[in-house]
Amino acid sequence: MKIHKSEEWKNLLTSEQYRVLVEKGTEKPFTGEYDKHFEEGAYVCGACGTKLFESGNKFDSGCGWPSFDSAIPGSVEFNNDDALGMRRTEVTCANCEGHLGHVFPDGPKDTTGQRFCINSVSLDFKKGQ
């Protein structure tokens, strides 16, 4: 069952989380907490706590945002994003519809070939999960 919140998110999230997760913003590259983070565990939605990515699927793409080659099946949804004069695929949390980032077809060729480029502020990390 999906979580639907509107103004309530303003009271539950930091202003930067709200800007990214709800208003579909993007954090500055190389500034996020999880860009160079490689502990074992799981990355969950910063808004609702849904488990999204396993640490084993994270890689250093050098793009300035946390990158994963795949998401946990059923945890994310994909939406066309034609903003900024380009066609991209937006990635949102399947549970609360929070904006996470985008997925690109330039990931590791030895795995999925995908690069989930995700805002750190849209994530939380659960060690050892």
Helix (H) or strand (E) holding 91: strand 88-93
DSSP 8-state assignment for residue 112: T
Radius of gyration of the chain (CA): 14
- Both tokens of 113, joined, read 């070939």
DSSP 8-state assignment for residue 51: E
Catalytic residues: 117
Q: Are 34 and 20 in contact (CB under 8 A)?
A: no
Q: What is the pLDDT of residue 75?
A: 98
Cα–Cα dist 24/30, whole Å: 18
Predicted TM-score (pTM) of the model is 0.92
The mean pLDDT values, 10 residues at a time, for the chain of 129 residues are 72 92 94 96 96 97 96 96 86 96 94 96 92
Cα–Cα dist 124/8, whole Å: 19
